């Protein structure tokens, strides 16, 4: 459990002159403080009033540099460890462990079991993130699954892989919802779009360059008597353990945490009070409510929570399917050799990164969320159609992989931001993080089974399911948009209070 940072300055004590902010510099005296960006119509906060816009931007930038790259790096190894099966499969694992049997399809079983435990253990993990603190909890589970990943390299048969994948699902279930929840507590609603995009962009480097890394590790074939596919698991597991130690050293807690502590000093008490004041000014939910099961489960009564989860699940259906099967599709479906197939994974993910950042920037600037989600879904449908029905044209089918990969992966941060902008309350946010990522895991179950070996080389059934999932996203966004606009109009007329806050309006 995190220990108190400084008993003299409790974070929950109201700001007054006993705890003054830093004295203004000569620069500040020459240029009077202005607050036109931070203060909304009729809003005034005594804490925010002590800072200029330039000072606030510097503090937020410090949060960005400390939080986003590290969380992204930890998510990168998370994705790398759960999706490196495809690279190991074409590097010799399928042959050595006899995974080519189709009754049952052993490879699909191995990919599937991860998501079963991932879904089951997700609901309580967001609460554990609060209880233990992000630094202790997230770093510990990352270290634990790194050790499990190393064990992958020493299995003797495919059933051992099934057991280890189940354990990996238990450990990784606590990471993504915990990080999503942590990031949402540090930023205002129209700041999180770009941050989620950059966070996921860093994480998706695992998918972009995992194949190239695997191709390099394959060259260790025969060292100490182990096949190249085993070294993929062993070395990548060691990298995960190293990243876990970085997380323990540099990761920070929630801004409102009274026991805020970091091994490397970060932000004064007053600066964290500023962060909380900004969030409260934006949506009035920076302060932690007392936990009760009833309050936590109360979010389940809001149908929109499940709609966000459905959108996220449909997005991850394609993103996971491509992560697990794109190397195999390139190898068996399009005829590229093993090394070429692993290296050709990177360009589509590089294109996805561009789309991800652009939609995040557009959404934050113009306060649009549903439009970004719909655009990405349409882009994905176009790409999947080209991949499936451009018969005889290998280059065209590979080009389709660019659009499909970009649309599916860009929608992960877009849907995260969509839900983050339209909910209020700490425990509702925690519950929504769990259900959202749980929906994503269900999408992983579908994505890990739709591309069957017997459907090679066209994989039309799997591509059809993937396209259908994107149509579901479009229909859900239309329903949410109509609902949001209707409720916003009622709130403007004073007929309805949204999310228990009179000034709150949904972001369409």
Give the whole-angstrom CA distance, residue 405 versus residue 417.
19
The torsion angles phi and psi of 392, rounded to 5 degrees, stand at 80, -5
Contact 413, 279 (CB under 8 A): no
DSSP 8-state class, residue 331: I
Give the whole-angstrom CA distance, residue 469 versus residue 314.
5
Per-residue pLDDT of the chain in tens (508 residues, 90 and over written 9): 444 444 444 444 444 444 344 444 443 343 333 333 444 433 678 999 999 999 999 999 999 999 999 999 999 999 999 889 888 998 999 999 988 766 677 888 898 899 999 988 988 887 899 889 999 999 999 999 999 999 999 999 999 999 999 999 999 999 998 999 899 999 999 999 999 999 999 988 776 788 889 889 999 999 999 999 999 999 999 999 999 999 999 999 999 887 777 788 889 999 999 999 999 998 887 777 777 777 788 889 999 999 999 999 999 999 989 987 888 788 877 888 888 888 898 899 989 999 999 999 999 999 999 999 999 999 999 999 999 888 778 889 999 999 999 999 999 999 999 999 999 887 888 888 888 988 998 998 898 888 877 787 778 889 999 999 999 999 999 999 999 999 999 999 999 999 988 989 999 9
Contact 136, 189 (CB under 8 A): no
Identify the pLDDT of residue 161: 94
Give the whole-angstrom CA distance, residue 185 versus residue 279.
8
> What confidence tens digit (pLDDT) does each residue in 417-427 have?
999 999 988 78
Contact 196, 417 (CB under 8 A): yes
CB atoms within 10 A of CB 58: 12
First to last CA, the chain: 39
Q: Before 106, cis peptide (omega within 30)?
A: no
Q: Measured between alpha carbons, how far is residue 462 from residues 331, 384, 387, 448, 449 in Å?
A: 17, 10, 11, 10, 8
> What confidence tens digit (pLDDT) does each residue in 169-213 have?
999 999 998 999 899 999 999 999 999 999 999 988 776 788 889
Angle at 446 between CA 443 and CA 449, to 5 degrees: 145
Q: Measured between alpha carbons, how far is residue 458 from residues 108, 382, 455, 498 in Å?
A: 18, 16, 6, 48
Give the distance between the most distant pair of CA atoms in the chain: 77
Q: Measured between alpha carbons, how far is residue 461 from residues 103, 108, 117, 310, 384 in Å?
A: 19, 15, 27, 21, 11
Give the whole-angstrom CA distance, residue 108 versus residue 41.
55
């Amino acid at each position: 459990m995190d220990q108190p940072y400084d008993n003299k300055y409790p974070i929950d004590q109201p700001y007054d002159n006993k705890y003054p902010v830093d004295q203004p510099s000569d620069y500040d005296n020459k240029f009077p403080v202005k607050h036109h960006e931070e203060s909304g119509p009729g809003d005034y906060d005594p804490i925010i009033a002590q800072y200029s816009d330039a000072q606030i931007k510097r503090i937020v930038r410090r949060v960005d540099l400390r939080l986003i790259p590290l969380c992204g790096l930890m998510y990168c190894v998370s994705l790398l460890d759960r999706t490196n099966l495809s690279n190991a499969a074409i590097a010799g694992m399928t042959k050595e462990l006899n995974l080519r049997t189709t009754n049952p399809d052993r490879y699909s079983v191995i990919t599937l079991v991860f998501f079963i435990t991932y879904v089951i253990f997700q609901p309580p993990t967001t609460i554990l993130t609060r209880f233990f603190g992000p630094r202790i909890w997230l770093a510990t589970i990352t270290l634990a699954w790194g050790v499990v990943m190393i064990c992958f390299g020493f299995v003797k048969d495919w059933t051992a892989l099934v057991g280890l994948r189940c354990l990996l699902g238990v450990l990784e279930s606590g990471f993504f919802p915990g990080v999503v929840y942590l990031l949402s507590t540090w930023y205002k609603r129209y700041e999180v779009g770009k941050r989620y995009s950059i966070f996921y962009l860093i994480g998706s480097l695992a998918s972009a360059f995992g194949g190239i890394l695997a191709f390099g590790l394959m060259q260790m074939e025969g060292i100490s008597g182990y096949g190249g596919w085993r070294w993929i698991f062993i070395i990548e597991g060691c990298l995960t353990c190293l990243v876990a130690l970085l997380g323990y050293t540099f990761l920070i807690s929630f801004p409102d945490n009274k026991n805020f502590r970091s091994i490397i000093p970060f932000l004064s008490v007053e600066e964290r009070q500023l962060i909380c004041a900004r969030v409260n000014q934006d949506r009035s939910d920076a302060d932690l409510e007392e936990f009760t099961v009833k309050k936590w489960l109360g979010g389940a009564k809001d149908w929109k929570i499940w709609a966000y989860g459905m959108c996220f699940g449909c997005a991850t259906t394609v993103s996971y399917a491509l992560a697990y099967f794109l190397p195999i599709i390139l190898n068996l479906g399009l005829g590229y050799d093993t090394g070429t197939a692993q290296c050709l994974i990177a360009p589509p993910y590089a294109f996805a990164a561009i789309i991800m950042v652009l939609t995040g920037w557009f959404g934050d600037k113009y306060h649009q969320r549903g439009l970004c989600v719909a655009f990405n879904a349409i882009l994905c449908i176009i790409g999947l159609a080209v991949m499936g029905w451009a018969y005889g044209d290998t280059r065209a089918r590979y080009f389709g992989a660019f659009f499909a990969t970009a649309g599916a992966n860009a929608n992960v941060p877009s849907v995260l931001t969509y839900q983050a902008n339209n909910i209020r309350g700490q425990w509702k946010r925690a519950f929504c993080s769990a259900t959202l990522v749980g929906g994503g895991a269900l999408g992983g179950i579908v994505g890990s089974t739709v591309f069957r070996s017997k459907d090679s080389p066209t994989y039309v059934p799997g591509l059809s399911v993937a396209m259908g999932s994107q149509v579901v996203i479009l229909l859900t966004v239309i329903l949410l948009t109509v609902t949001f606009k209707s409720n916003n109009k009622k709130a403007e007329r004073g007929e309805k209070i949204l999310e228990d806050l009179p000034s709150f309006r949904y972001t369409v």
